[in-house]
A and B are shown apart, each in its own frame.
Chain A
């Protein structure tokens, strides 16, 4: 960062119809909403000056997010509440902004720091019960590893490492809500819908993932999980 720049971290959600947006579409929309809000944003140096902003880990098309984040660098320390109020008035409702706070420039980037994510996976199907799902979960997790085909390559996930928290079936549906916490990072990110789809193949009669929502993005320091704000 250049001297005189202020790094504002903004929390927003990706809900309703907006869950059908790609990460690029979310980024473009939020940058435009920051411009509409007349935030005193900094621009990058160089040939193609752009708004200086950095986003958290990508969500796929179709997946919602309850606590998503981006950082935007400002040239003036606009009070965070003022920034939130202006963003609220200039952002589509289904990407709504919830809070903002200045963070220190030395903090690592959101993509580097956020290594764990919590999800809610809604599943449905004929004759499905929480018990059946739980039993199949125990079987799959007990196997210790999960092979995932992606773009013609097979990737093997060590489930003990990829699942830092217990997988739980929360509601007594339908639809049933499965809470999954997975690790993200350079060694690969286990997609919760991939895990749960595998689990559902072990349930008599099967079932299907209805929707996926990321409920939290977390940083991990010496075994302690924390929210970025």
Chain B
């Protein structure tokens, strides 16, 4: 291990693409020679996709802050490197100390997206760790999952010893410290897992068995429902201020400060909006301090104020004014990840962009007011047109609009209305610019396919079939203006596979393993995506994927994720579903009254705006 293994890795690098993925030694990487407890955090994709992941950056920071503990990183080698590693007998290694991943105490794997699941298996296999938790011996590390996809853990439950539901700031140390103490006390693997199951938010799949009728029940003292972890005060945890600064041009290669967590706009299709509740803001003072400190430590040329809905921050204007004053003349810019559809957002974008007007992004999601009411997307066409007029009048020449098709209650009329709406947006944009500039007006339209997500009001809905989605795409195509619009689709076959995996239970693990054995990996990369391979994997394991994706559930039928709770009550989600079908909207509880989702009371957390808790919890 260590230097010896590095020499063997280094010998492979001249033969592979982008060797920079494997060389460590970036600014900010932590190198600790001695530690009693070692964790490795793995992102199940290539270095450039995973390096900037904020969740893992936070855990890296937290785990490395404990005396005697060290956390390192690992990524999935691209296919050329994996082939070289297998033929040279080089196991999956951590970047910092170049130690085999199987030598660590804990392997933490984030689950960002269903189409990375085969990469989890690829990583475990390269590490020499048995794929199934049940097959792992005493000496092997605990493999612990977490992240967005943990809210339906069942498709990958068999591959994990434990899965953390919810936020990791506090829980990750609870897990590492409990594991270390149990290990030092000589506990067996089974005993260690029982002890982890007592930590709030930790799901230990092997302690749950089929309860008949599709549900799962604990076999021992484990909780019947595992409820997510949430921190009450985001301000108590500063964002990583000296994160690793990669050499490589990675996705999201900039300083990131999370300005608020959670979003209570209440879009009914949005899993993030349900599971990351409640809204907790950092204060303006903290944000300004952290952005400046982070820029000084990293040398980045850009800082991004991230969240699910940054323009909702109650002090955003103050934050932007203070930051742009402090950064004037430095060439360093502030960026906002996404914008609300209103005039305020355009003026915030003007403040943030430092004179650059690259492109604005808005998400009306649906083409008719009726359907926008169903999904609770509180955007009117008048607001959108006004916002576009204002943006193009202020100098922008490009706008990108996000829509979804396959939403519950959607008709061809709703789909075609997207095209008509885009045409009106285009007209408004052209009218707002000088005649000579009209040719440079570009409207980007990106259309994705709705996948009914766990823990949302639409979790009981089935996914619209692939054939029907392809038909609706044709309806949309013929309704879309021909000129000046760049139409792009999220591949409907990809969404179909997402639905077949994301809506499944434990039976899907066999399918994922079979797909990996047949060569599936990096499924999220369009050049690697192969639906036929997956279809044969479903067929050969006798699992009916189309039914998993397409079947609706009744209110009394157990959902595959019924033993996992985001804190938002099932009662509230069902109520929201009924309101959706009635076309009734629900207001944002951060600005209006409490809508009764039950998160604040049940989790001991509360809405925090501008440094003050609402006092409802």
Contact = CB atoms under 8 A, between A and B. Distances in A.
Contacts, number: 71
B20 A47 contact: no
Contacts of B23: 17-18, 20
B14 A36 contact: no
Interface stretch (A24-32, A65-73, A76-84, A184-192): A24-32
Number of contact residues on A: which range applies? 20 to 34
A118 B245 CA distance: 31
Given A24-B249, A29-B247, A51-B331, A92 B25 contact: yes
A78 to B, nearest CB: 16
Interface string B423-466: 00000000000000000000000000000000000000000000
Nearest to A44: B331
B297 A20 contact: no
A38 interface: yes
Interface in B1-55: 10, 13-14, 19-20, 23-27
A1 interface: no
A219 interface: no
B348 to A, nearest CB: 20
B248 A32 contact: no
Contacts of A48: 356
Interface string B244-281: 01011100000000000000000000000000000000
B19 A62 contact: yes
Task: Give chain B's interface secondary structure class.
Answer: loop
Nearest to A43: B331
B248 A20 contact: no
B297 A36 contact: yes
B526 interface: no
A16 B331 CA distance: 31
Interface size bracket, B side: 20 to 34
Contacts of A16: 25
A50 interface: yes
B303 to A, nearest CB: 12
Contacts of B301: 31-32, 35, 50-51
Contact of B330 (A25, A31, A32, A43): A43
Interface string A92-133: 111000000000000000000000000000000000000000
B178 to A, nearest CB: 36
A49 B331 contact: yes
B394 interface: no
B299 A33 contact: yes
Interface in B175-191: none
A22 B329 contact: no
A156 interface: no
Given A16-B25, A32-B301, A92-B26, 5 more contacts: A20-B20, A24-B249, A28-B249, A32-B27, A94-B25
26 contacts: A17-B10, A17-B23, A17-B24, A18-B23, A18-B25, A20-B19, A21-B20, A21-B247, A24-B249, A29-B27, A29-B245, A31-B299, A31-B301, A32-B27, A32-B245, A32-B298, A32-B299, A32-B300, A32-B301, A33-B299, A36-B27, A36-B297, A47-B355, A48-B356, A49-B354, A92-B27
| Top 6 A-B residue pairs of the complex, sorted by shortest distance between their CB atoms | A32-B299, A35-B299, A36-B299, A43-B331, A20-B19, A17-B23
